[in-house]
Structure 1
Amino acid sequence: MLKVTNLSVQYGMIQAVKDVSFEVNEGEIVSLIGANGAGKSTILRTISGLVRSTSGAIEYLDKDITKTPSRKIVEQRLIQVPEGRHVFKGLTVQENLDLGSFTRKGKEGIKEDLEQVFERFPILAERKNQDASTLSGGEQQMLAMGRALMSKPKLLLLDEPSMGLAPIFIKEIFRIIQDIQKQGTTILLIEQNAKVALEIATRGYVLETGKIVLSDTGKNLLKSDEVQKAYLGG
């Protein structure tokens, strides 16, 4: 579904991503883990068309999208939930969700999809007329994910969904991520919390200073001595 080949990204003199290659197959949860500054978010932003690569290629559904504008990428149902949620302040929960369906060419099914979002995130139904900025961090993360789901993604990019959340919200968010995958959405997950990311991952890649240094199934990476020492306190 997604193939990244020899991707490099540079900010001025800083080489943020160095010759990175990986794949995401349909139906998988693939996790990219690594420390702050490893290049995880830069990779996601480059896939989404928000950052331009200096070299390499990105293919999505067998089409080269390396230079495709971000709005066109969204129309192809490759959707990102950004780090920090970025809900629209001054708009209600309902209005934020409505904006998620803005790029859909056919408007049929939007009402049913909204009902599904409210079933998955009951707190959003309770607060649909509330300003999105007044929600808690965990609730805003649910809103950001619900807004993305209103776009009917084929591939969902999640950037640090657990950041700043209480443990009870982290557990719930990752349960929902698994549920979304089981219902047919492929997921590429960027996450600092290596343990929870690898526990749900079909496969994983470990990034260090812009390079992939390890790749395997999520279960095997959890058992890896290198991963245990670097990320799991083993």
Structure 2
Amino acid sequence: MLTVNNLHVNYGAITAVKGVSFTINQGEIVTLIGANGAGKSTILKTLSGLLKPSQGTITYQGQELSKLSAPKIVAQGISQVPEGRHVFPEMTVKENLQMGAYLRKDSSAIAADFQRVYRLFPILAERQDQDAATLSGGEQQMLVMGRALMARPKLILLDEPSMGLAPIYIQKIFTIIEEIKKQGTTILLIEQNANQALKIADRAYVLATGTIKLSGTGAELLTDQAVKQAYLGG
């Protein structure tokens, strides 16, 4: 579905991503784990068109993405849930969700997707007329995930979805990620909570200082001694 080959991304004179290559197959959850500064979020921003690579290719369903603008990448079926939530304040929950469908014209399908989002996140249905900025952190995370789903993506990019959440919400978020996969959406997950990410991932890549150091199934890396010592607390 998506192939990243020899990707390099620079911030000025600093190379944040150095020759990264990986693949995502349709229907998978693939996770990238690594310490802060490893290049994970930079990769996601490059996939979604917010940054441009200095070298390498990004091929999505046979099309090269690196020259496309961010809106055109969304139109191809890729949505990103950014780190830090970023709801639209002074807009209701429902209006935030409507923003996720801004490129779509299929009103009946949009209405069906509202119901899909409300089934995944019942609290959003209860709060649909509430200012999004007044939601709790966990509820805002659910909202930005729901907003991304309103674009009806084939591939969703999740950047640190559990960051800063209370424990009660963390398990809910990972359960919902698995449900989104069951409903047919492919997922690329970046997550500091490596233990939870590896438990639900089909495949995983470990990044350090802009390069991939290890790869394997989620189960394999969950029991890998080097991964355990570096990211899983022993």
The alignment's TM-score, normalised by the length of structure 1, stands at: 0.99
* Structure 2 match to 1:158: 158
> What RMSD, in angstroms, separates the aligned Cα atoms of the two structures?
0.7
* Structure 2 match to 1:24: 24
Moved more, 172-181 or 122-131: 122-131
Shift of 1:105: 4.0
* Structure 2 match to 1:39: 39
Equivalent position SS for 1:130: coil
Counterparts of 2:38 and 2:167, CA distance in 1: 24
Moved more, 173-182 or 99-108: 99-108
Equivalent position SS for 1:192: coil
Paired letter, 1:139: E
Counterparts of 2:71 and 2:116, CA distance in 1: 25
Paired letter, 2:190: I
Counterparts of 1:107 and 1:39, CA distance in 2: 38
Counterparts of 2:92 and 2:77, CA distance in 1: 24
Counterparts of 2:10 and 2:47, CA distance in 1: 14
* Structure 2 match to 1:209: 209
Provide, for residues 61-85 of structure 1, a one-character-per-residue CA deviation record: whole Å limited to 9, x for no partner: 1100111100000011100000011
The total of aligned residue pairs comes to 234
* Structure 2 match to 1:136: 136
Is residue 190 of structure 1 aligned with residue 190 of structure 2?
Answer: yes
Shift of 1:106: 2.8
Shift of 1:112: 1.2
Counterparts of 1:55 and 1:108, CA distance in 2: 42
Counterparts of 1:192 and 1:172, CA distance in 2: 16
Instruction: Give runs of ≥4 in structure 1 deviating > 2 Å.
Output: 105-108
Q: Gapped runs of 5+ residues in structure 2?
A: none
Is residue 233 of structure 1 aligned with residue 218 of structure 2?
Answer: no
Paired letter, 2:95: E
Shift of 1:5: 0.3
Identity %: 63
* Structure 2 match to 1:219: 219
The alignment's TM-score, normalised by the length of structure 2, stands at: 0.99
Equivalent position SS for 1:58: strand
* Structure 2 match to 1:96: 96
Counterparts of 1:33 and 1:17, CA distance in 2: 14
Counterparts of 1:157 and 1:29, CA distance in 2: 10
* Structure 2 match to 1:82: 82
